[in-house]
């Protein structure tokens, strides 16, 4: 998927993560901050990058402000932000396909 416009998903509440995607040209530029960075920073980074890869996002600026979200929440926020940026978040989501 191509990031067409800036989009955001998630909140800054505890156990959530706020994900922002913006158009980019030079691969994935990830800015990550997390309340559990020392223990889970690597896993969060991996989850975000894997999710983007599954969605076929190759170029984007991605900002993740993590407040201790579980992996399932991180995935949901990244996916929602990406689909929103393409104006495709409301219907016909490929559940079980690119979203899994």
x-marked contacts with other proteins along 62-81 as a string, rule CB under 8 A: -----xxxxxxx-xxx-xx-
- Of 63, 4, 59, 49, which is closest to residue 28 (Cα–Cα)? 59
Is residue 64 within 8 Å of 18, Cβ to Cβ? yes
Structure tokens at 17: 């993560």
Compare residues 58 and 89 and give the one whose CB is closer to other proteins.
Answer: 89
- Of 41, 50, 58, which is closest to residue 100 (Cα–Cα)? 50
Position 37 contacts other proteins (CB under 8 A) = yes
99 alpha-carbon distance from chain centroid: 12
Of the residues 2, 5, 23, 36, which one makes contact with other proteins according to CB under 8 A: 36
Binding site for other proteins (CB under 8 A): 9-10, 13-16, 30, 32, 35-45, 67-73, 75-77, 79-80, 83-84, 89-93, 95-96, 99-100
């Amino acid at each position: 998927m191509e990031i067409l416009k800036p989009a955001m998903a998630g909140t800054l509440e505890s156990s959530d993560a706020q994900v922002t995607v913006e158009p980019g040209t030079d691969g994935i530029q990830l800015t990550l901050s997390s309340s559990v960075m020392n223990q889970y920073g690597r896993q969060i980074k991996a989850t975000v990058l894997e999710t983007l890869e599954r969605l076929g996002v190759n170029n984007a600026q991605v900002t993740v402000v993590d407040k201790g979200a579980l992996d399932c929440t991180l995935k949901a926020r990244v996916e929602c932000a990406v689909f929103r940026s393409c104006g495709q978040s409301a219907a016909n989501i490929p559940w079980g396909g690119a979203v899994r």
